Amino acid sequence: MVLEIFSLGENMCESKAVVVKGSKEELVLDDVVMLEILGDRLRLVNIEGKEKLITEYRLGRIDFIGHKIYLVPKE
């Protein structure tokens, strides 16, 4: 089963972090392997070690099957 998944080119653990703006999604960081909650901020790190500190948005939801992290505006 694992070999079949890899042969289809699927990522196993990396996710895309996107900001939800109305009905649109804007990519923030690709291949995210870590999300850390730091009080009212979020720290995202991708597989290459690139980091993004998110201050204007909060965690909306995580889709583990779809490999996507949804960030929404703070209210």
Per-residue pLDDT reduced to its tens digit, 27-66: 999 999 999 999 999 999 999 999 999 999 999 999 999 9
Residue 58 domain-assigned (yes or no)? yes
pLDDT band at 7 (very low <50, low <70, confident <90, very high): very low
Domain that includes residue 58, residue range: 11-73
How does 26-55 read in b/e, with b if 16+ C-beta sit within 10 Å?
Answer: eebbebbeebeeeeeebebbbeeeeeeebe
In angstroms, the CA 48 to CA 64 distance is 20
Residue 2 lies in a domain: no
What's the pTM?
0.82
pLDDT band at residue 75 using 50, 70 and 90 as cut-offs: confident
Confirm whether 3 is domain-assigned.
no
Asked if residue 5 is part of any domain, the answer here is no
Does the pLDDT of residue 6 top 90, yes or no?
Answer: no
Q: Structural domain tally of the chain? A: 1
pLDDT band at 12 (very low <50, low <70, confident <90, very high): low
Please answer whether residues 31 and 48 qualify as being in contact, where contact means their C-beta atoms are separated by less than 8 angstroms: yes
Residue 6 lies in a domain: no
Going by C-alpha positions, the residue among 27, 72, 25 that lies closest to residue 50 is 27
